[in-house]
Each structure stands twice: as C-alpha cells, then as structure tokens.
C-alpha cells in the first residue's frame, strides 16, 4: 500500500475495486481496507461514490472518471500512478470495466507498466446467473444491446444458434420491445429477468418469452435489469444426445 515499501516501488498500483450493486453491506473487507488506504479514488459519479464512502467514514480525493470523458481524465490518473500514488478505480456499482468505465484506463496503465490489482466482488452479471436457474457452465455476456431496433435485431439474429445462456443488461423501459424481438427471432425460450438485486424490492421474473410478455404487460418497471435467455433448444438437445451416445458406447480396451 501507499507508504509500504514506497522507496522500492517505482510507481503506484491501480486497484480495480468492485463495489455493491445495491446493498452497501456487500462491500468486501478487503475493498473497504483498500479504499481507506489509497491516495485517490477514480469514480464514475462522485455523488454515488460519496454515499458509499460516507457509510464507512472514508474521506479521499475523488477524480470523476466517466463516459464519454474517460480519455481526458486518463493522463491525470496515470501521472498520479507514475508518481508512486496508489489509485482505486470504482464505478457506481459492480465491477469496473464490465459494461462500465474502466477498460481504457486499465489498458493505458498496463502499457505504462503500472501494476493492476483486481479486487473481486459484486457484479450484476454473476449475481443474476447464480440465482437464475439456467445453465451456467457456458454463458455469453452481451452487455447492453444497441439502442436502435435494427441493430438489436441483427445482434439477436447472430445469436440464434448459440448453445449458451445469453446475458444482457437492459433499461427496463426497453424490456417489452426486447422480449418481442426475442420471441420473433429466438423463439419462445425460458427467460429470467432480474432487477433491483440485493435491494429491498429485488425481483426475479421467470417464464417463457410469451409468459413474461403477458405477465409484465402494463407494469412500469424502473432502473436497469439483467436479462438471461436459455440456449437454443436444438443445439442443447443435440449436445445432450451426443453426450448420451458417448456414455453408452463401450469403453475401449487398454493396450496390451
């Protein structure tokens, strides 16, 4: 940490710190310690980060680092790191660089020879997957679909034959349109919609595309949601059949 073997450390470290996605008690003990020890915290929104820091009585200089102004703030943060200062990178919630600001800074820090130290923790992606009840041994995370319907249509068409669980982030105002597109292109699959995870009004909506379109009709949901779609049934059944054929086949004899 800063001040610890500082004479022998040519530059500071960039700590990539996951923060709670809702419930502030989900901050890890290690993250709490690091946030209290670094020189500066680069954050997506200073107002959101202050709420977290105030809960734990942490006072640190903050640098606002958010899209689309990431590139302008990178030189300032890199200078701090090159001068031996440790910096923590956080976003409003979850893990930095996962559909959130962070990638550009992390890439530049690596190119500058700065040590990157990730602190695992909360992520809407893994939280939703863990409770969805859909296969998790293989999944494809797509982040936020394109805002325009034509582009989203092309994206879903490209995913039609993927034999993996598909995971998206979506503003809840787009869920109805997205489900209709999904039904037209991917068919009537099992879907899980997770919203307000770890918060008081946490909800998981489970059902087929048609069932969810009907049950969510007229509901006004707020915020963002994580949407999970089961793998294509034809490919899944094909894989299961291949596995069963393999298990039924006689074991080869050992060479003498």
Task: Give the closest residue to 11 by CA, choosing from 90, 111, 85, 70.
Answer: 85
Tokens read off for 236: 């899944």
Distance CA 140, CA 127 (A): 15
Query: The dihedral of CA 119, 138, 150, 191: what is its sign?
Result: negative
pLDDT at 67: 86
Please give the order of strands across the beta sheet that includes 87-90. 62-64, 40-43, 87-90, 13-17, 115-119
pLDDT < 70: residue spans in the chain: 1-9, 234-256
User: Which tens digit of pLDDT belongs to each residue from 182-208?
Assistant: 999 999 999 999 999 999 999 999 999
Q: Where is 73: in which H helix or E strand? A: helix 70-82
**From residue 86, how far is each of 17, 69, 76, 102, 130 by CA, in Å?**
12, 22, 13, 16, 33
- The predicted pLDDT at position 6 comes to 43
pTM for this predicted structure:
0.85
Buried b (16+ CB within 10 A) or exposed e, 5-41: eeeeeebbbbbbbbbbbbeeebbbeebeebbebbbbb
Model pLDDT, residue 248: 58
Q: What is the CA radius of gyration of the chain?
A: 22
**Quick check: 199 and 225 in contact, CB under 8 A?**
no
Omega of the bond leading into 256 within 30 degrees of 0 (cis): no
Return the pLDDT at 144.
97
Q: Which domains does the chain have, with CATH numbers?
A: 6-122 (3.40.1010.10), 125-233 (3.30.950.10)
DSSP letter string over 213-251? Answer: HHHTTT----SEEEEEEPPPHHHHHHHHHHHHHHHHSPP
Q: Report yes or no: 105 and 98 within 8 Å, Cβ to Cβ.
A: no
Question: Any idea which residue has 């960039």 for tokens?
Answer: 14
């Amino acid at each position: 940490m800063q001040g610890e073997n500082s004479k022998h450390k040519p530059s500071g470290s960039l700590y990539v710190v996951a923060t709670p996605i809702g419930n502030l008690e989900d901050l890890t003990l290690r993250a709490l310690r690091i946030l209290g020890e670094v020189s500066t915290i680069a954050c997506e929104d200073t107002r959101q980060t202050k709420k977290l820091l105030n809960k734990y009585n942490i006072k640190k200089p903050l640098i606002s680092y958010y899209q689309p102004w990431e590139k302008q703030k990178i030189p300032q943060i890199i200078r701090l790191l090159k001068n031996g200062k440790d910096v923590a990178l956080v976003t409003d919630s979850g893990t930095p660089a996962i559909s959130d600001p962070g990638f550009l800074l992390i890439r530049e820090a690596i190119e500058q020879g700065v040590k990157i130290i990730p602190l695992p923790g909360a992520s809407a992606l893994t939280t939703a997957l863990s409770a969805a009840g859909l296969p998790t041994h293989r999944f494809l995370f797509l982040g936020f679909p394109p805002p325009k319907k034509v582009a989203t249509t092309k994206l879903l068409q490209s995913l039609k034959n993927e034999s993996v669980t598909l995971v998206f982030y979506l503003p809840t105002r787009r869920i109805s349109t997205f489900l209709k597109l999904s039904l037209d292109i991917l068919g009537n699959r099992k879907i899980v919609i997770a919203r307000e995870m770890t918060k008081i009004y946490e909800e998981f909506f489970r059902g087929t595309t048609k069932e969810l379109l009907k049950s969510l009709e007229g509901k006004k949901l707020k915020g963002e949601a994580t949407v999970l779609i089961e793998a294509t049934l034809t490919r899944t059944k094909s894989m299961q059949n291949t596995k069963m054929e393999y298990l039924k086949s006689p074991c080869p004899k050992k060479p003498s």
